Amino acid sequence: MSRNEPPADDAEAMLSIPPERLRRHPRLLYVRRASEAAAKALAYSRGGGVRTYDDIAYRYVCACPQVPFLGVETLAGRAADERRRQRVGLPADLARLAEQRDFLAHRHLALPDGRFRMGIERGLLYAMAEPGGEIVGRFPLAVRPRALDGLTEPQDVRPQPTMAVRRHLTESRWLPLDELIRCARFPTMREAASRLVRGVFPRRHHVFVSHRWLAVDQPDPDGTQARLVAWHLFASLCEAVHVAHRRGLRVPRQVAHAAMNMPVGVAGSDLAECLLGGVLREVLDDTSLASAARDLERVGMDAVELGSAEASEDAGLEHLSALLDALPSLRPLLERIHIWYDYTCVPQAPRSPEEQELFRKTLEALFLLQFAGRTLVLLDDVADYLGRAWCSLEAATSLTSTLGGRPDVLHTGGSARPSGPATDAESLRSLVHDRQLVIWRGLLDTELFRLQTREECVSRLGLSMAEPGDLPYLYDRMLSFAVPNGRTSRQSLVTGVVPLPDMAEDRILVPMPDYSGSQPVDGARPVRVIGTLQGWGGLNLRGYVEEGHADAGPPDTSPFWHFPAPRFTGPAPTCHVAVVAECEGEAVLISSWVRRHRAELEELLRVTAVSGSWTAVDPVPVGHLPHGRLRARAVRADVWVVVGKSGLVANDVGQALCRVVFEARLPAFTVSLDIATENVEQVVGDVAPGAPHSGLLSGWGAGYEHPSGLLYMHLYRHLLQWGASVQ
C-alpha cells in the first residue's frame, strides 16, 4: 500500500484545508470528519464551565456518533431515558409487552450465513450482521443454541470464601432469615441481641444488604425493606430447589465462555445457584431434595412468585409464614441464610463504650463482610442510591468482592422478584460498573495530577453524605477499590501514541483499515505462560500516593519515551514497552510504574528496554487530558511487550498491537497488571488465523497527528489517513 496524498504535518493546517480541495480529495474530507468527531464531542462535553463528571460523560456520549449496543451508561443518561419514558406514557401492561418483544420475536434454529458478531443481553444471544449491526438472529440461552454446541463446560458458582475470612469476622453479627420472618421487620441490635449469630460459618449463605436509609433515625420505617428481603431470599431458595430437582443436585450448570461466560441450559439466577451449591448440597441428599421438590410442586412456583410480587403488601409477613407451613421441608434451610443489615447488626447511637468499640471494629471489617457473602442491593431511586457516598461505595465494592462481580439487586418499588426479562439487576450492574469508570478518573485527577481537593472530587462525583466526618474513611476506601475492570465502546476516545513495527526503508506494518478484534471460539487465547510479574502496583493509586511519588512533582505525561542507557551492556535484544490504558491518567500511572520497574521486566524476559509508549482508549473521557492528541509512531525493537489490564491487553488496541507484532515475526509478550500470578505471557498464535490483519505501508514519512484524538470506531480507518468512508 502506498499513499497518493502526503499527510499534512500540522494538525491545525489539516483542519483549515479549503473546501474545494477537500472535494477534489475525498479521503482528506473523511479524515477531517473523523478528527472533528472527537474534537466536537470533547468541546460539547466540557463546555460551559465546571461540570460534574457524570454530566461530562453524558454530554460526551450524546455528542458522539451513535452506535448500536452502547456500552456506557450514566446517571444523567438514565434520568433522560426516564423522562422520555414518562413522556411516551405507555400503560404498564404495554410497557411490559414492549420489554418482551425480543423474546417473542422469530428465532432461527441455526446461525445465519455471512459475517456477524455476537452480543449478549437479557438472557438472549444476538447475532448482528457486519457491517451495520443489524440483528439477524436471536437465541435464548435457557435452551442451548446449536451455535454453542461443544462450547460449554460445567462450572458452578464458586463457594463463598467464609473460611478465608472467618478469623477476621468473629465479632460480626448476622440475622438468620427465619428470625427476620418471625420479626417481620429489622430490629435494632439491642432488641435482637439473643437472636443474632456471631461470626461466619461454612455451610451457610451470607447476605450483605446495601440500602438507603429512608429516615434519619430509621432506615425502614414501615418494614417494606424487611418484607421484600425476606420474600426475595425465600423465593430464590425455592428457585434453587426447583433447578436442583430438574438438573440434579450434584450436576453443575453449563457455561459458555465464548458467550461472555453466560449460563446455558437449565440454570437459575446467580443467587439461586449460590444457594444450591452452598446450602442445598451441604444439607440435602437426593431423597430430601425430592421431598422438598414435592412440597414445592404441591404449592406451586406460581404461588411463590405471586406472593413475591405482592411482598410489599404482606403486613407482618403473614402470607409468607402461611406458605412456609405448607413447605415444612424448607424451614430448616432458612436458618442457614444469614443477613447483615447495618441497623440490626451494628450498634446504633447513642453507644456505650463497648458498643463504640464494636462499631469501630465493624467499620474496619466492612469490606470483609461483603467479601464473605453476596451483596444484595435494595434499589428504588437509582440516582439517589448511587448519589449517596456509602451506597455508592458498597455497590462499587460489590463488583470486586461479590463472586463473579455480580451483586444481587432487589427493586423496592414493587415486586421482590422481577417479572419480566428486562431486570433491574442487569441494568444496575452495568450502571455501577460504568460509575466506577467515572470515579476512577476523578481520583486520578485528585491524587495523580493534583488538580482538586478531595472535597471537590467528591462534590464533582455527585456523592453526598449525612456526616461530613465520614469523608476520610469513604475516600480512602474509594482509593483502595477504585480500579474498574474496563468497558469497551466504539465511542471510546483514543489518544497518545500507537506504536507500529518499523520494517526499515520507510515502511511500517499497520493494522488493516477494516481491522476488527475477534475472540477465539473456544475462549482460549494462543499464548504461553512465561512467569509472574508483581504488577498490581501499576494500578495502585493509593500506593503511588503513600510512597510519595505524587509529592516528587508533576508526573511525566509524555506518550513516548526512551529509557536511560543501561548501566551494563550485553547481547540482550532490545525491547519496546507499549502501555494500553483506559484513560490518560491511568496510562501515566502505569507508565510511571513501568519506568520504576524496568529492571524486573528486563530480568524476567532477558531483554533491554529501550523505549516505551502509551495509548489511552477512554470510553468516558471526563478526566484531565494532559496530552489529548493521537499519532502513530514507527518503532524498531527486537521484542515487544504490551502492558495493561487483562481486558485491554487481550482485546481492541492491545490485541491489534499483538497481532501486528506477531505478523512482523517479532516476539510479542503481554503483562496483565490485574492478574496476580502467571500474568506474563507470550503470544504464540492468532485467534483468527488466515485473516488479513495487517499490511505493509510504504512512504511512511512523519505521519499525521490528530489534534483531539480519534474515536475508536474511526481508529484504524483514519489513523494513517486511509480513505474509507466515515460511518
CA atoms of 560 and 338, how far apart (whole Å): 53
Please give the residue that has the higher pLDDT: either 123 or 211.
211
What's the Cα-to-Cα distance from 481 to each of 443, 538, 588, rounded to whole Å? 11, 14, 19
Diameter of the chain by CA atoms? Answer: 85
Share of the chain above pLDDT 70, in %: 84
DSSP assignment of 493-518? EEEEEEEEEB-STTEEEEE-TT----
Instruction: Point out the least confidently predicted range of 73-77, 286-290, 387-391.
Output: 73-77
Instruction: Point out the least confidently predicted range of 20-34, 274-288, 292-306, 558-572.
Output: 20-34
Per-residue pLDDT band for 121 (boundaries 50, 70, 90) equals low
464 DSSP assignment: B
Q: What is the pLDDT of residue 551?
A: 81
Helix axes 424-443, 53-63, angle to 10 degrees: 110
Does the pLDDT value for residue 147 go beyond 80? no
Does the pLDDT value for residue 25 go beyond 70? no
Per-residue pLDDT band for 320 (boundaries 50, 70, 90) equals very high
Residue carrying the nine cell digits 403486613 = 315
Please give the residue that has the higher pLDDT: either 593 or 697.
593
192: cell is: 435482637
Q: What is the pLDDT of residue 422?
A: 36
Q: What is the pLDDT of residue 725?
A: 34
**Residue 264 near residue 256 (C-beta atoms within 8 A):** yes
CA 89 to chain centre: 32
Does the pLDDT value for residue 695 go beyond 90? no
Per-residue pLDDT band for 569 (boundaries 50, 70, 90) equals low
Does the pLDDT value for residue 414 go beyond 60? no
- Mean pLDDT of the 283-304 span: 93
Please give the residue that has the higher pLDDT: either 152 or 575.
575
Instruction: Point out the least confidently predicted range of 59-73, 323-337, 639-653.
Output: 59-73
- Mean pLDDT of the 607-623 span: 95
Q: Output b/e per residue, 553-590; b: 16+ Cβ within 10 A.
A: eebebbbbbebeeeeeeeebeebbbbbbbbbbbbbbbb
- Mean pLDDT of the 247-275 span: 84
What's the Cα-to-Cα distance from 245 to each of 250, 281, 284, 453, rounded to whole Å? 10, 12, 11, 56
Geometric angle at alpha carbon 334, from 329 and 340, rounded to 5°: 170
Instruction: Point out the least confidently predicted range of 179-183, 415-419, 486-490, 678-682.
Output: 415-419
Q: What is the pLDDT of residue 112?
A: 67
CA atoms of 442 and 268, how far apart (whole Å): 37
Per-residue pLDDT band for 264 (boundaries 50, 70, 90) equals confident
674 DSSP assignment: T
- Mean pLDDT of the 131-140 span: 71
Per-residue pLDDT band for 631 (boundaries 50, 70, 90) equals very high
- Mean pLDDT of the 463-480 span: 87
Q: What is the pLDDT of residue 144?
A: 64
Most confident stretch, 303-307, 665-669, 673-677: 665-669
Q: Which of 136, 151, 63, 145 is nearest to 110 (CA)?
A: 145
HSE-CB at 176 with a 13 A cutoff on CA atoms is 17
Does the pLDDT value for residue 421 go beyond 80? no
Q: Output b/e per residue, 171-200; b: 16+ Cβ within 10 A.
A: ebbbbbbbbbbebbbbbebeebeebbbebb
Please give the residue that has the higher pLDDT: either 168 or 721.
168
Per-residue pLDDT band for 129 (boundaries 50, 70, 90) equals confident
Q: Does the model's pTM come out above 0.85?
A: no
Q: What is the pLDDT of residue 721?
A: 63
**Residue 294 near residue 330 (C-beta atoms within 8 A):** no
Which residues, in sequence order, are CB contacts of 470 under 8 Å at separation 6+?
Answer: 389, 390
Average pLDDT, the chain: 84
Share of the chain above pLDDT 90, in %: 48
Segment 500-545, tens digit of pLDDT: 999 988 888 889 888 888 877 666 788 999 999 987 778 999 889 8
HSE-CB at 367 with a 13 A cutoff on CA atoms is 14
- Mean pLDDT of the 456-462 span: 94
